[in-house]
Amino acid sequence: FNAVKKQYGLHSYLLPLSLPTPPPPPVPVPALIPRLPPPPPSQEPRNLPLPPIPQTPGFPPDSSGLHTIRLTEKDIQQTARFTREFLVMSLLPWMEKCVLDWNEAFTSTRRLPSRLFSSTRRLFGSPSPSPSPSHNMSSSLSSLPLKAAMNASGQGSVSPPSQQRRLAEFATILGDLKLAVTVWEALRKDGKGGSDMLPLLLSPSPTLSLHASNALSGMQLEVSEPLPHEQLTALKYAVRWEAGINTSDFLKYPVEGERWLVWAAGNSEEPPAALLLARAALLSSQKQSKRRAALWYLSAANRLEKCGIKPLTMFFLRRAHELYNDRPQKSLSPSFWESEGQPPLETYGIDAIMSNIEHSLGRLLYTTGDVA
């Protein structure tokens, strides 16, 4: 190893792997968090049981068996050592050095004299050339496939991320939240994005809803057919917010993050938008906002039905029907009902919505043959 580093540099590493033939038995690998739950075991007799997978010490049991790797124990240890040394000795120090250098450049541009001189030159000096179009994607790394697709389709090239945005991303990854919030705020004030990341870094306050609304305001999500890349960006924002913010903070009053999912869904009739509405309905039902949850379940079912996904559509319709039937208890005085001339057990609801749900559910049950 020392000879390799001496010849090729300190950031080189020799990874020896045996890779025997035939390959060893599969070893379970834990999936990344957050992950979907394992599929339920099927009770049908035609599904044969899978062979048991040997358990590796130090790894939690993986009942699904979907994530496995065929390496020997020595190769696994060598790969783990390579990953650890690559992160600790090469990647993280390089990122920290970049943050220090870029932070100096960022601080120098934010000082009063430079800003004053730039304003004076803009007002009284010669006209400066128009700036290049800024990069408004949420992450420079996650948008690489989108850039390649746009370049391949000939719709125009996208400029690389600015140094300030890379500084904000690196500071966020390294955990320097104070610096990250400062840079993201500067990008937001300059109109170069940042509103999508600030809800993940700031404490719960009414300002978070404004940041989320500002992040989605630049997209035409309220039209009948939003652009595909805008739908993808809105979906990415919504998933990031829901997974990155604590559930208790995401649902309580100053934030009310389930409304963000509805904003991100917009008027799109694609399945991802319907699932965002269903997720917002589930979060609202956990807050005991049952009427709102039922309305969003019904909207999600209507969009999924247009896509031809009937089983999930019927499930959402049943959930909406259950929530509309679960009426709140009215603890009123008996004299109130006497003054109104109504029996205490009589309740009034939105009959038109109930008939719409029952008609849609009955029609789907009839078309699928489930009339039992």
Distance CA 243, CA 259 (A): 15
Per-residue tens of pLDDT for the chain, all 372 residues: 678 778 888 778 888 898 888 889 998 888 776 665 665 555 444 444 444 444 444 444 444 456 888 999 999 999 999 999 889 988 999 999 999 999 999 998 876 554 444 544 555 554 444 333 333 433 443 443 444 344 444 444 567 888 999 999 999 999 999 999 999 999 999 988 899 999 999 999 999 999 999 999 888 888 878 899 999 999 999 999 999 999 899 999 889 999 999 999 999 999 999 999 999 999 999 998 998 999 999 999 999 999 988 999 999 999 999 998 887 666 777 787 778 777 766 555 566 788 888 888 888 888 887 765
Q: Is 28 helix (H, G, I), strand (E, B) or coil?
A: strand
Distance CA 250, CA 328 (A): 24
Q: Is 205 helix (H, G, I), strand (E, B) or coil?
A: coil
Check: CB of residue 260 under 8 Å from CB of residue 284. Answer: no
Residue the block writes with tokens 């939105």: 350
Residue the block writes with tokens 């849609």: 360
Task: Determine the distance from the C-alpha atom of residue 211 to the mean position of all C-alpha atoms in its chain, rounded to a whole number.
Answer: 15
Q: Which residues contact 72 (CB under 8 A, 6 or more apart)?
A: 18, 20, 24
In angstroms, what is the C-alpha Rg of the chain? 28
- Token pair, residue 277, equals 């509405």
Sign of CA dihedral 317, 320, 321, 322: positive
Distance CA 293, CA 296 (A): 5
Phi, psi of 69 (to 5 degrees): -140, 140
Q: Is 27 helix (H, G, I), strand (E, B) or coil?
A: strand
Residue 39: asked if its preceding bond is cis (omega within 30°), the reply is no
Residue 34: asked if its preceding bond is cis (omega within 30°), the reply is yes
Q: Count other Cβ atoms within 10 Å, centred on residue 62.
A: 18
